[in-house]
Amino acid sequence: MIAINTKDKKIKIGLEIHLQLSTGKLFCKCPDMNNSGIKGKFSRKLFPTENESGDVDVAALQEERKNVIYEYEVSDNSCLVEADEEPPHEINADALDTALQIAFSFNSEVLNAVSVMRKVVVDGSNTSGFQRTAVVSTGGYVTVNEKKVGLTTICIEEDSARRVESGNDHTVFSLDRLGIPLVEISTAPDIETFQEAVDVAREIGMRAMLTGNIRRDSDAIRQDVNFSMGYGRVEIKGISKLSLISEALIAEENRQKFLSEAIGIFLERGGFDGTVLIDYTEKIAKSESKIIQKGIAAGNRIFAGKLENLGGILKSGNYRIGKELADALKLFSIGGFIHSDELPGYGITQDEVNEIKKFLKSRENDAIILISIPESKKDIAQDAINKRVEKLLSLDFSETRAANEDGTSRFLRPISGSGRMYPETDIPTIKIKNSRMVELNSAAPKSFDQALSSFTDEWEISRQEAEIILATGRKKEFIELAKLWGKPREMSRMILQSIPEIERKYRKKLEYGDLKTLVEKIATKNYGRISLEMAIDQCISGKSIEEVVISDDIRPLDRNELKIIVERIRKSGDIRKENIIAKVKNETNRPVDPKIVMEIYQNS
Determine the residue type at 442.
Answer: S
pLDDT of 4 strictly over 60: no
Evaluated on CA atoms 24, 29, 31, 32, the torsion sign reads negative
355 against 582, higher pLDDT: 355
pLDDT of residue 404: 95
Task: Give the predicted TM-score (pTM) of the model.
Answer: 0.86
pLDDT of residue 123: 87
281 against 68, higher pLDDT: 281
Question: In 83-223, which residue ranges form alpha helices assigned H by DSSP?
Answer: 93-105, 194-209
C-alpha span between 442 and 209 (Å, rounded): 17
The tens digit of pLDDT for each residue in 22-58 reads 999 999 999 987 666 889 999 998 877 766 666 776 7
C-alpha span between 582 and 484 (Å, rounded): 30
pLDDT band of residue 108 (cuts 50, 70, 90) is: very high
430 against 593, higher pLDDT: 430
The tens digit of pLDDT for each residue in 86-102 reads 999 999 999 999 999 99
Q: Is the peptide bond before 31 cis (omega within 30 degrees of 0)?
A: no
Among 65-69, 204-208, 421-425, 551-555, the minimum mean pLDDT is found in 65-69
pLDDT band of residue 420 (cuts 50, 70, 90) is: confident
For the segment 183-202, the average pLDDT, to the nearest whole number, is 97
The tens digit of pLDDT for each residue in 402-415 reads 999 999 999 998 88
pLDDT of residue 102: 97
pLDDT of residue 480: 96
Nearest of 187, 212, 61, 51 to residue 119 by alpha carbon:
51
The tens digit of pLDDT for each residue in 200-254 reads 999 999 999 999 899 988 788 999 999 999 999 999 999 989 999 999 999 999 9
Determine the residue type at 343.
Answer: L
Query: In the sheet that 337-339 helps form, which strands lie side by side, from edge to edge?
Result: 278-279, 301-307, 367-373, 337-339
The tens digit of pLDDT for each residue in 465-475 reads 999 999 888 99
C-alpha span between 191 and 144 (Å, rounded): 10
Q: Is 319 helix (H, G, I), strand (E, B) or coil?
A: strand
Q: What value does the CA radius of gyration of the chain take, rounded to a whole number of Å?
A: 31
Question: In 278-377, which residue ranges form alpha helices assigned H by DSSP?
Answer: 281-284, 290-297, 321-330, 350-360
For residue 379, give Cα distances in angstroms to 310, 383, 568: 21, 6, 89
pLDDT of residue 62: 73
Domain boundaries, the chain: 12-233, 267-414, 447-554, 559-603
Determine the residue type at 158.
Answer: E
C-alpha span between 441 and 100 (Å, rounded): 8
pLDDT of residue 418: 65
Average pLDDT, the chain: 92
The tens digit of pLDDT for each residue in 266-283 reads 999 998 899 999 999 999
pLDDT of residue 181: 98
pLDDT of residue 507: 94
pLDDT of residue 604: 72
The tens digit of pLDDT for each residue in 113-138 reads 999 999 988 889 999 999 999 999 99
Nearest of 18, 51, 185 to residue 118 by alpha carbon:
51
pLDDT of residue 265: 94
Element (DSSP H or E) covering residue 537: helix 529-541
C-alpha span between 394 and 271 (Å, rounded): 11
Q: CATH top-level class for 267-414?
A: alpha beta
pLDDT of residue 583: 87
